[in-house]
């Protein structure tokens, strides 16, 4: 059996590398990392995954806020209010893992999706016309909600671990 760390060839029955001492057994965590999906639709399977999703979604909300702020400054001033909401909630999702901010973002993005669909159907209710972008933002907010709820629930750090940091 070949060691994953030093590439030493060991006896077939060996449980540890004779050269470096690394475990040759394939554990559940090793299997999980080998078969793990990456990207927007990957399952959140631990605190690190949830923190990464919250960080990535927060960065995405900052980008949406920047775009809406620029458009609001030059074309449609009503978008500045949405930009402020996306920026503030994005900050709280990214840095504070706030469930409330994630839910507010879900409500705002859901309303934007409804307005976009209504615009495409001929109703002029304001907002954009890009349904694909609106759907992407809603998917990101759903992921942010999932990540923040897991960070404040299942994957919450214990108070003893927090005190030692």
One digit per residue, pLDDT tens: the chain, 165 residues?
A: 788 888 888 888 888 888 888 888 876 555 445 555 666 678 888 888 999 999 999 999 999 999 999 988 998 888 899 899 999 999 999 999 999 999 999 999 999 999 999 999 988 887 778 899 999 999 999 999 999 999 999 888 754 454 444
What was the pLDDT predicted at 163?
Answer: 47
User: Which pLDDT value is given to residue 160?
Assistant: 42
* The pLDDT of residue 110: 95
Cα–Cα distance between 76 and 70 in angstroms, integer?
Answer: 9
> Structure tokens of 32?
């999980």
pTM given for the model: 0.71
The angle at the Cα of 43, spanning 38 to 44, to the nearest 5 degrees, equals 105
Identify any residues that bridge with 122 across adjacent strands, giving them in sequence order. none
CA–CA separation, 102 and 128 (whole Å): 22
Q: For the stretch 4-36, what's the b/e string if a residue is b when 16 or more beta carbons lie within 10 angstroms of its beta carbon?
A: eeeeeebeeeeeebeeeeeebeeeeeeeeeeee
């Amino acid at each position: 059996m070949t060691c994953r760390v030093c590439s030493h060839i060991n006896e077939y029955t060996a449980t540890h590398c004779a050269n470096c001492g690394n475990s040759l057994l394939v554990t559940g965590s090793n299997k999980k990392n080998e078969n793990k999906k990456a990207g927007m639709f990957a399952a959140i399977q631990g605190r690190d995954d949830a923190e990464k999703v919250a960080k990535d979604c927060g960065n995405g909300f900052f980008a949406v806020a920047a775009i809406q702020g620029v458009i609001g400054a030059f074309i449609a001033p009503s978008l500045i209010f949405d930009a402020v909401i996306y920026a503030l909630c994005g900050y709280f999702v990214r840095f504070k893992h706030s469930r409330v901010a994630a839910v507010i973002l879900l409500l705002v993005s859901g309303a934007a999706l409804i307005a976009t669909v209504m615009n495409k159907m001929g109703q002029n209710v304001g907002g954009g016309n890009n349904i694909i972008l609106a759907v992407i933002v809603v998917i990101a907010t759903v992921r942010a909600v999932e990540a923040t709820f897991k960070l404040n629930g299942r994957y919450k750090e214990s108070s003893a671990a927090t005190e030692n940091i």
